[in-house]
Chain A
Amino acid sequence: MIRDITIGQYYPVNSIIHRLDPRVKLVGTLVFIISLFVSVRILPYLIATIFLVAVLRISKIPLKYIVKGLKSIIFLLMISVLFNLFLTEGEVIVRFFFLKITKEGLRLASFMAIRLIYLIVGSSLMTFTTTPNELTDGLEKGLSPLKAIKVPIHEISMMMSIALRFIPILIEETDKIMKAQMARGADFESGNFLKKAKSLIPLLVPLFISAFRRATDLAMAMEARCYHGGAGRTKMKPLVYKKNDMIAYGILFFYFLTMFLTKLI
């Protein structure tokens, strides 16, 4: 049952964004995030908003999924807003008791809030439209120039891919071990912090042993299938840029340029 959890938030729908090369989406997310820090004025944020809304519409992701992702940062958002609202020096607008709200505070708080929200929505968009596999492939191909300076890109990518494959399996195993120990009277819920930490030993030790056993088996199976590192490997699904990808890069370049130019206005 637990194995049915899908990693990440991939929302399967057929949109242009979904079909883009993962490298484009990785670069796009990076560009978007950087662009949010270009300056603290209304014009760039207006442009960012248009860009974001447009991409959202094209991606066909339902709004309620986007909003759900924001729920997790509501706390952080509130703290950031409150801090900026009440602790910024400047021209006072409102005052009750010892709390004061300044014009600068209001301005800063609003920009902070928008920046945070856009950050989350922007990066969620990437995980909504790209499978974990595509992401690791994209990272592997995109970062491959780093191989020239001996960064083990292929190995890191293989590790990420295998981790993705085994996370659901290990989650299920954790559940099984927990149940087996509970059947022997183990209690994972009650007690203070120290007691709870100690009670995890009957869970973690078997889990680690199992994980190591799987790793050993898997290594043997990979070698039996002639795996010997990244050298000489071909790809079943090689990443090749298509026309849409080049257009997307173009739009990203144009967007970034525009954001930068607003600094000059």
Chain B
Amino acid sequence: MGIIKTTKLVFDYIRQDEESNEVEIKRAVDQVDLDIEEGSFIAILGHNGSGKSTLAKHMNAILLPTEGGVWVCGEDTKDETKLWDIRQNAGMVFQNPDNQIIGNIVEEDVGFGPENIGVETSEIWRRVSSSLEAVGMTAYRMHSPNKLSGGQKQRVAIAGIMAMKPRCIIMDEPTAMLDPNGRKEVIKTIHELNKTENITIILITHYMEEVIDADKIFVMDNGKVVMEGTPKEIFSRTHELKELRLDVPQVTELAYELKQAGFDLSDGILTIGELVEELCQLR
């Protein structure tokens, strides 16, 4: 079993009126099967409303399935006794940088997680220092979070999760509210963590450029997984991605357009280098 596994996962949002009668049922996740290998960098793509965030919230038991099952590090998320173990093993970073920082100074926020799981004081300090180091925010440890940029705040949030020593981190659209530089900072940081600390990363996003280096991509639409494969495989299906309200990097789009015009180009060109090389060969 992979580090995170879901079997026929279904989740319904049930809207109730004032008398608690069911007014509307919206199926946000529809029969999703996932098996994520430990140590991998997984991306889950989809337009707003595709169910990707709802799916993500099952991975640390914020939501429990309506039908089907979710196992995190071998534990069933429905098992109440294992709730805190699951959340310690599967950390989560959210979209809004401000709304997940609790401490009044950076180092205190990073220590919040270890405090909650009862880590002993001197060990908390060790973990805070090494986590801040891992995300490159050591110089800011005494700063107030209010003085940081969006990208820096997200890195502090990631440090806060790292300090709990998780086996995997789920990032729910961590760059959606950041400017391009902040986005680059954060994506770079999580790739490094994946490589050097061997932490499984699950990145939920709708920015295609962020997932070029993922090991595997899942594309969601209407609660279902509609595409799955390596970046090259997924990006070569440019037309389908556009139908799904997603975008491709300009390089891929250009290659696709030229291919449609009849030119002999490979599928799924992801980088400028690849495109340039193939175009020059065509001359």
A contacts B: CB pair < 8 Å = yes
**A interface residue numbers (CB < 8 A to B):** 3-4, 132-133, 161-162, 164-165, 168-169, 213-214, 217-218, 220-228, 232-238
Determine whether the beta carbon of A224 is less than 8 Å from that of B60: yes
Choose from A169, A223, A236, A237 the contact partner of B62 (Cβ within 8 Å). A223
Choose from A213, A228, A237 the contact partner of B84 (Cβ within 8 Å). A228
CA distance A4 to B119 in the complex (A): 33
- Judge whether B66 is part of the interface by a CB distance below 8 angstroms: no
Provided the pairs A164-B104, A221-B94 are in contact, do residues A236 and B115 lie with their beta carbons within 8 angstroms? yes
Determine whether the beta carbon of B116 is less than 8 Å from that of A226: yes
Residues of chain A within 8 A of B84, CB atoms compared: 226, 228
11 A-B interface contacts by CB (under 8 A): A161-B104, A165-B101, A169-B98, A169-B146, A217-B99, A220-B94, A221-B102, A227-B112, A234-B114, A234-B119, A235-B121
Q: Which of A232, A236, A238 has the most CB of B within 10 A?
A: A236
Q: Which candidate, B85-93, B186-194, B236-244, B265-273, is the interface stretch facing chain A?
A: B85-93
- Judge whether B125 is part of the interface by a CB distance below 8 angstroms: yes
Provided the pairs A133-B108, A165-B104, A234-B124 are in contact, do residues A227 and B116 lie with their beta carbons within 8 angstroms? yes
Interface of B is mostly: helix
**Docked complex: B52-90 residues within 8 A CB-CB of A:** 60, 62, 84, 87-88
**B interface residue numbers (CB < 8 A to A):** 60, 62, 84, 87-88, 91-92, 94, 96, 98-105, 107-108, 111-121, 124-125, 128, 145-147, 160-161, 164
Determine whether the beta carbon of B164 is less than 8 Å from that of A225: yes
Interface of A is mostly: helix
Residues of chain B within 8 A of A237, CB atoms compared: 108
Give min CB distance, B103 to chain A, whole Å.
7
CA distance A222 to B102 in the complex (A): 8
Determine whether the beta carbon of A236 is less than 8 Å from that of B102: no
Q: B92's closest neighbor in chain A, by CB? A: A224
Determine whether the beta carbon of B94 is less than 8 Å from that of A225: no
Determine whether the beta carbon of B103 is less than 8 Å from that of A233: no
Provided the pairs A234-B119, A238-B121 are in contact, do residues A226 and B113 lie with their beta carbons within 8 angstroms? yes
CA distance A162 to B103 in the complex (A): 8
Choose from B91, B128, B147 the contact partner of A225 (Cβ within 8 Å). B91
Residues of chain B within 8 A of A161, CB atoms compared: 102, 104
Q: A169-B146, A217-B96, A236-B114 are in contact. List 16 more A-B contacts (CB 8 A).
A: A4-B147, A161-B102, A164-B104, A217-B94, A218-B100, A221-B100, A221-B102, A222-B102, A223-B87, A224-B91, A225-B91, A227-B116, A228-B84, A233-B115, A234-B114, A235-B121
Residues of chain A within 8 A of B116, CB atoms compared: 225-228, 233
CA distance A234 to B164 in the complex (A): 13
Give min CB distance, A10 to chain B, whole Å.
11
Residues of chain A within 8 A of B160, CB atoms compared: 225
CA distance A221 to B121 in the complex (A): 22
Give min CB distance, B38 to chain A, whole Å.
20
Residues of chain A within 8 A of B146, CB atoms compared: 3-4, 168-169
Choose from A4, A165, A169, A233 the contact partner of B102 (Cβ within 8 Å). A165
CA distance A213 to B87 in the complex (A): 22
CA distance A238 to B108 in the complex (A): 12
Determine whether the beta carbon of A220 is less than 8 Å from that of B115: no
CA distance A4 to B160 in the complex (A): 24
Q: B87's closest neighbor in chain A, by CB? A: A226
Determine whether the beta carbon of B124 is less than 8 Å from that of A132: no
Determine whether the beta carbon of A226 is less than 8 Å from that of B108: no
Determine whether the beta carbon of B99 is less than 8 Å from that of A214: yes
Q: A169's closest neighbor in chain B, by CB? A: B98
Choose from A165, A168, A232, A235 the contact partner of B103 (Cβ within 8 Å). A165
Residues of chain B within 8 A of A213, CB atoms compared: 99
Residues of chain B within 8 A of A226, CB atoms compared: 84, 87-88, 113, 116-117, 164
Residues of chain B within 8 A of A3, CB atoms compared: 146-147
